[in-house]
Amino acid sequence: MILRTDTVEQTVDRDRRVVLVKDVIMTPGQPLGMVRKRLPPPHESKGTLLLVHGFAQNRYTWHLERRSFSAYLAAEGWDVFQVDLRGHGRSRWFSESRPRTVDEYVQEDIPLVLREALRLSGQERGFLIGHSMGGMIAYAAAAPLREKLRGLVSIGSPFNFGLGNTFLRNLARVLATVRFTGVFDRNPLLPTHLVGRHLLDRLRPALDLPFWPGAVQGWRPGSMEPEVLHEFLGKSFEATSVQILFDIFSGADRVSLARSAGRVDYGVAFEALDLPLLVIAGTADSLAPPDSVKEAYLKSGSTDKTYREFPAGHIDLVLGREAPTTVWPLVRDWLARH
């Protein structure tokens, strides 16, 4: 359901601006929010793109006032839908429901938003594009949605979580122990929104130095202008449920997620899926090291798969100053071929 439609002018990057039609959307049933962008008539759409954000993030993973990957894709002729998963962004405004497990994103949110995006765009199939956890969710959701998908794009998304980062692997073991104690069975809210808006932003100058410990570096030092990074940290971070954190780390050995009825191994279904696949990794990404990301490419049974690496960190793969001339054109050209 479209709640509001506006014609807006947005910055793609630096001096490049584009006029777009922007819709604010709420899905029926479980109310989830999406922002849709497309070129105004008489331009015809090249197809539907569903952009899925990562852990404790929202739609601002893809769009800032000074740099916007979603506006770039829309300017290239695509019908772009930026989703806010339940408990995040506009979805948090529309409903008090917050996620209990990652499985809810996979089994409920993605099918719902994809169905609504295709209905509104008049398309039969579309692409899933995910960053970080968003790519993990796309891997997990793809098999049952194969008839509605043209392909998958993952950016900085680990298939084998923590591979290549000893700190994250050890943290996964600690969190597994904590989860076993049952201390967090009531699934309290994890105040990750404060990390971005206060802690990280205040420490940003120090975090942007090259000697900061690489195991917890969210971007490659110097890869993002201070004003862009400030806006990202202020807008993109969301509070989330502690069980989501546990779920992500519990899948450290492969794409598998815990649920109340047991363990679901989405990796098996993904590996058997023959769907066009583009996997992108950053060589300076310590949160999703190339070894952990490339596993999706290596394990995928797709007959049409591509893997690329760029000298970038986790966030700057999407919004860094070099992304508009490196990652973005790669995604654009790959989409055009499919």
Domains defined along the chain, listed by start = 2-337 (3.40.50.1820)
Q: What is the mean pLDDT of the chain?
A: 88
Q: Specify the pTM.
A: 0.92
Half-sphere exposure of 95 (CA within 13 A, CB side): 17
Selection from 3, 115, 117, 22 nearest residue 63 by Cα:
22
Predicted local distance difference test score (pLDDT) of residue 266? 84
Q: In this model, does residue 289 exceed pLDDT 90?
A: yes
Query: How far, CA to CA in Å, does 223 sit from each of 18, 193, 217, 218?
Result: 24, 23, 12, 11
Question: Could you tell me the pLDDT band of residue 260, with boundaries at 50, 70 and 90?
Answer: very low
* pLDDT score recorded for residue 215: 54
What mean pLDDT comes out for the span 203-227?
A: 72
d(CA 87, CA 26): 13
Output the six-digit token pair for 163. Answer: 């591979």
- Give the integer Cα–Cα distance in Å for 338 and 334: 7
What is the per-residue pLDDT for 301?
96
Please compute the mean of the pLDDT values over residues 58-71 and round it to a whole number. Answer: 98
Residue 114 has pLDDT above 90, yes or no: yes
The CA-CA-CA angle for residues 207, 153, 52, to 5°, reads: 65
**Model confidence band, residue 190 (pLDDT cutoffs 50, 70, 90):** confident
Task: Provide the pLDDT for residue 205.
Answer: 66
The stretch 105-128 carries a mean pLDDT of 98
pLDDT interval class at 194 (50, 70, 90): confident
pLDDT mean over 238-248: 84
